[in-house]
């Protein structure tokens, strides 16, 4: 069976945070002799996604791209109108019937489909019609996966009020989690796609052929063990930790000769991800904090959810006075090549929202993190960062509005992380641990090998 031909089809959903790990999985699978097709929902929400896609398929000419041309669904009619990414996931779900002709027309025929966690309930029935093995790739942490899988058992009904005044959420088999770390949409009575997906897709996971997660035993041993031993949810298919997937460069080169000229570990990199904007007041405090910290820095500034809407001049966003101070010490960008930056020896710390891809990338390059989680899975991920000892999370910091964090506090925490020897040492240890799976044939990550064995069986 070693040489059996396998053709795996990947189907990501909306947002770079979901797309990037799928493309990395695609790249890793090809190095294992697997033929890969990526079905890309078309159009995409952000420019970041479309540019990443065109760069990727140019760099990996052996990987085939197929468009899933989405059905027109009126944005304003959508119950997710306030979040273009959720709206888009909804449209992909509603367009899933188009997958049937697409998948059956593939030549050579598909051996398996790997889909995003937000598409499970829509896609599994189609793979069942086609008798096609279906895997789910969970693009966040194993801890978050545990919440996703057990959400429907914890909440029982679609009404969350039953949780009463309890201050913690108990995922079976795991330590209780403070309620404030749970993504707020999951605690609301009002239906929203995030919650519906946790409910429907999370429940449907048991019908998949296997669950892949971009983490490793080294990062989340205990949670993975509980998942695999069926303590979180009974009757799960195989759970495979296929991470950390090497963060192959996703392109959109942003030239940064400036960075190469800086002393080792002297630069702070700051980014809050591709999904959410930050209020202008908070952005200005971050700028003030960076200048006060005394470090050099590269800072990705984002005010709107979707990059194409972020069209205002940065001088306008920061104000001339702050912009002048900022320019003396740092670089302000609208988008970075994050992997290039984190891989530079000049970078000494990462102020991060703790989107899981950012966390995995920081682990891969051993960069200490000042965690400032804002939404979604980010607090659960931030706790993993803190526990693993590569950074710190200031839990009192909120996400804008009345919980504005001032520049002086930000500067103090940046200095703390930049000067922390323990984070630096642990960073190097984690970097080595992360790369154990890399390298010469046969010495690859065990989860990925197990996946290839399953596919070839
Ligand atoms: Br912003 C930004 N450059 O300027 P996360 C992001 N990225 O390369 P998110 C850049 O996008 P969700 C930039 O390296 C990472 O691979 C970054 O994913 C890259 O957070 C990806 O970190 C962002 O998971 O998505 O975007 O908030 O929360 O949905 O995972």
Mean pLDDT of 336-340: 93
Ligand 1 atom closest to the Cα of residue 336 is 4
Q: What's the pLDDT tens digit per position in 126-154?
A: 999 999 999 999 999 999 999 999 999 99
pLDDT at 265: 98
Would the pLDDT of 102 be above 70?
A: yes
DSSP state of 162: G
Would the pLDDT of 55 be above 90?
A: yes
Could you tell me the pLDDT band of residue 15, with boundaries at 50, 70 and 90? very high
Q: Is the CB of 380 under 6 A from ligand 1?
A: no
Distance, in Å, from the CA atom of 325 to the CA atom of 393, rounded to the nearest integer, reads: 27
Residue 233 near residue 173, CB atoms below 8 Å: no
Residue 371 near residue 397, CB atoms below 8 Å: no
Distance, in Å, from the CA atom of 169 to the CA atom of 382, rounded to the nearest integer, reads: 17
Distance between Cα 302 and ligand 1 center (Å): 12
For the chain, percent of residues with pLDDT exceeding 90: 79
Q: CA dist 448 to 110, 212, 433, 452, Å?
A: 19, 9, 16, 6
The residue whose CB lies within 8 Å of the most ligand 1 atoms, and thus the one to mutate among 355, 374, 376, is 355
Q: Whose CA is nearest to atom 25 of ligand 1?
A: 17
Q: Is the CB of 379 under 6 A from ligand 1?
A: no
Tokens of 182: 């749970």
Q: CA dist 165 to 161, 172, 178, 417, Å?
A: 9, 19, 12, 36
Beta strands in 83-198 (DSSP E): 112-116, 134-138, 168-169, 177-178
Distance, in Å, from the CA atom of 377 to the CA atom of 214, rounded to the nearest integer, reads: 14
Looking at every residue in the chain, the average pLDDT score rounds to 91
C-alpha torsion 436→438→444→445, nearest 10: 60
Q: What's the pLDDT tens digit per position in 225-271?
A: 999 999 999 999 999 999 999 987 776 667 688 999 999 999 999 99
158 vs 352: which has the higher pLDDT: 352
- Picking from 378, 392, 383, the residue whose alpha carbon sits closest to that of residue 427 is 392
Which of 50-59, 133-142, 322-331, 445-454 is predicted least confidently? 445-454
Tokens of 369: 């993190």
| Sign of the four-CA dihedral 269, 274, 279, 280 | positive
Distance between Cα 17 and ligand 1 center (Å): 5
Distance, in Å, from the CA atom of 268 to the CA atom of 414, rounded to the nearest integer, reads: 8
Q: Is the CB of 335 under 6 A from ligand 1?
A: yes
Q: Is the CB of 15 under 6 A from ligand 1?
A: yes
Distance, in Å, from the CA atom of 57 to the CA atom of 62, rounded to the nearest integer, reads: 8
Q: Does the predicted TM-score (pTM) go above 0.90?
A: yes
Q: Is the CB of 275 under 6 A from ligand 1?
A: yes
Q: Whose CA is nearest to atom 26 of ligand 1?
A: 274
Distance, in Å, from the CA atom of 98 to the CA atom of 306, rounded to the nearest integer, reads: 26
pLDDT at 160: 53
Strand-strand pairing, 177-178 and 168-169 = antiparallel
Q: What's the pLDDT tens digit per position in 359-371?
A: 999 999 999 999 9
DSSP state of 445: -
The residue whose CB lies within 8 Å of the most ligand 1 atoms, and thus the one to mutate among 14, 16, 371, is 16
Q: Is the CB of 16 under 6 A from ligand 1?
A: yes
pLDDT at 249: 72
Ligand 1 atom closest to the Cα of residue 338 is 8
The residue whose CB lies within 8 Å of the most ligand 1 atoms, and thus the one to mutate among 14, 15, 17, 367, is 17
Would the pLDDT of 328 be above 90?
A: yes
Q: Is the CB of 51 under 6 A from ligand 1?
A: no
Would the pLDDT of 156 be above 80?
A: no
The ipTM (two decimal places) reads 0.98
Ligand 1 atom closest to the Cα of residue 352 is 22
Q: Is the CB of 307 under 6 A from ligand 1?
A: no
Q: Which residue numbers are catalytic? A: 18, 116
Would the pLDDT of 72 be above 70?
A: yes
Would the pLDDT of 440 be above 50?
A: no
Q: Whose CA is nearest to atom 10 of ligand 1?
A: 338
Q: What's the pLDDT tens digit per position in 276-297?
A: 899 999 999 999 999 999 999 9
Would the pLDDT of 100 be above 80?
A: yes
For the chain, percent of residues with pLDDT exceeding 70: 92
Distance between Cα 274 and ligand 1 center (Å): 5
Q: Whose CA is nearest to atom 20 of ligand 1?
A: 355
The residue whose CB lies within 8 Å of the most ligand 1 atoms, and thus the one to mutate among 270, 286, 341, 358, is 358
Q: Whose CA is nearest to atom 7 of ligand 1?
A: 338
Distance between Cα 20 and ligand 1 center (Å): 8
Mean pLDDT of 410-425: 98
Could you tell me the pLDDT band of residue 402, with boundaries at 50, 70 and 90? low
Q: Is the CB of 20 under 6 A from ligand 1?
A: yes
pLDDT at 108: 96
Distance, in Å, from the CA atom of 422 to the CA atom of 425, rounded to the nearest integer, reads: 5
C-alpha torsion 17→20→25→27, nearest 10: 180
Would the pLDDT of 1 be above 50?
A: no
Ligand 1 atom closest to the Cα of residue 375 is 28
Residue 163 near residue 155, CB atoms below 8 Å: yes
DSSP state of 263: P
Tokens of 152: 């429907």
Total Cβ atoms within 10 A of residue 76: 6
Distance, in Å, from the CA atom of 239 to the CA atom of 241, rounded to the nearest integer, reads: 7
Would the pLDDT of 20 be above 50?
A: yes
Q: Is the CB of 274 under 6 A from ligand 1?
A: yes
Beta bridge partners of 108: none
Mean pLDDT of 84-94: 92
395 vs 189: which has the higher pLDDT: 395
- Picking from 37, 102, 119, the residue whose alpha carbon sits closest to that of residue 68 is 102
């Amino acid at each position: 069976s070693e040489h059996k031909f396998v053709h795996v089809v990947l189907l990501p959903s909306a947002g770079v945070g979901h797309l990037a790990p799928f493309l990395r999985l695609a790249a890793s699978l090809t190095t294992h002799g697997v033929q890969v097709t990526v079905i890309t929902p078309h159009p995409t929400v952000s420019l970041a996604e479309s540019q990443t896609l065109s760069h990727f398929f140019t760099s990996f000419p052996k990987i085939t791209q197929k468009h899933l041309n989405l059905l027109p669904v009126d944005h304003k009619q959508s119950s997710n109108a306030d979040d273009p990414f959720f709206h888009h996931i909804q449209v992909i779900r509603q367009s899933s019937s188009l997958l049937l002709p697409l998948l059956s027309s593939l030549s050579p025929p598909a051996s398996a489909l790997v889909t995003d966690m937000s598409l499970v309930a829509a896609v599994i029935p189609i793979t069942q019609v086609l008798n096609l093995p279906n895997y789910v790739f969970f693009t966040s942490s194993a801890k978050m996966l545990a919440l996703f899988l057990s959400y429907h058992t914890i909440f029982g009904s679609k009404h969350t009020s039953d949780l009463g005044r309890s201050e913690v959420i108990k995922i079976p088999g795991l330590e209780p989690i403070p309620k404030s770390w749970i993504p707020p949409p999951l605690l609301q009575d009002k239906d929203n796609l995030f919650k519906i997906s946790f409910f429907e897709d999370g429940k449907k996971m048991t019908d998949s052929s296997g669950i892949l997660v971009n983490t490793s035993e080294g990062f989340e041993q205990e949670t993975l063990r509980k998942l695999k031993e069926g303590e979180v949810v009974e009757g799960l298919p195989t759970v495979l930790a296929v991470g950390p997937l090497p963060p192959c460069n996703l392109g959109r080169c942003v030239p940064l000769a400036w960075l190469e000229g800086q002393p080792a570990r002297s630069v702070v990199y700051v980014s809050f991800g591709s999904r959410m904007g930050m209020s202008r007041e908070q952005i200005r405090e971050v700028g003030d904090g960076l200048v006060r910290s005394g470090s050099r820095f590269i800072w990705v500034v984002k005010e709107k959810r979707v990059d194409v809407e972020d069209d205002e001049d940065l001088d306008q966003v920061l104000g001339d006075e702050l912009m002048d101070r900022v320019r003396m010490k740092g670089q302000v960008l609208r988008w970075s090549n994050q992997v290039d930056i984190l891989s530079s020896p000049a970078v000494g710390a990462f102020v991060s929202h703790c989107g899981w891809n950012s966390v995995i990338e920081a682990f891969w390059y051993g960069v200490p993190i000042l965690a400032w989680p804002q939404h979604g899975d980010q607090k659960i991920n931030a706790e993993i960062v803190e526990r693993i000892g590569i950074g710190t999370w200031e839990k009192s910091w909120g996400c804008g509005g009345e919980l504005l964090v001032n520049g002086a506090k930000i500067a103090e925490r940046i200095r703390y992380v930049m000067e922390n020897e323990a984070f630096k040492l642990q960073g190097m240890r984690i970097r080595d641990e992360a790369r154990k799976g890399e390298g010469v044939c046969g010495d690859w990550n065990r989860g990925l090998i197990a996946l290839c064995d399953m596919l070839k069986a």
